[in-house]
Amino acid sequence: MADRMVKACHRCRVYISIGNTYEIIQKEQKFDREHRGHPTQVVRISEILEYYKPIE
């Protein structure tokens, strides 16, 4: 089973799911605005699950 992909902010230690629905794209754009200038990266959720928390 493939892990889902998330965008993580390494400074704040939070992540958000990424996808192609309108609602998810809107949340991702808000995440990008709030974490502008922070180091972010698209990763598999299994890589960061125990260290980062979801943002909602």
| Tens-level pLDDT at each residue, the chain (56 residues) | 568 999 999 999 999 999 999 999 999 999 999 999 999 999 999 999 999 999 97
pLDDT score for 56:
73
pLDDT score for 49:
94
DSSP string, 15-51: EEE--SSHHHHHHHHHHHHHTTTS-EEEEEHHHHTTT
Give the DSSP H or E segment for 5.
strand 5-9
pLDDT score for 52:
98
* Number of compact structural domains in the chain: 1
Q: Which structural domain range is residue 45 located in?
A: 5-54
Q: Which tokens sit at 41?
A: 């990266």
